[in-house]
Amino acid sequence: MENHLKSDDFFDVEKFPVTVFQIKSVKKINDKNYNYQIGGILTIKGISKNI
């Protein structure tokens, strides 16, 4: 399975060896359980999206 994920029909790690998540916001959503919501920009295969 790992080889399939690394292949050019999925993440294409030979061409795009790095995936980046840039944190833009952190919001505490529960005081008792240390739950947080993190937002940012995810870049995979040269394509960036806000998440």
What pTM, to 2 d.p., does this model score? 0.80
Q: Rounded distance, CA 45 to CA 2, Å?
A: 17
pLDDT per position as a tens digit, 9-43: 999 999 999 999 999 999 999 878 889 999 999 99
pLDDT for the residue 32: 84
Torsion, CA 24, CA 29, CA 33, CA 34, rounded to 10 = 20
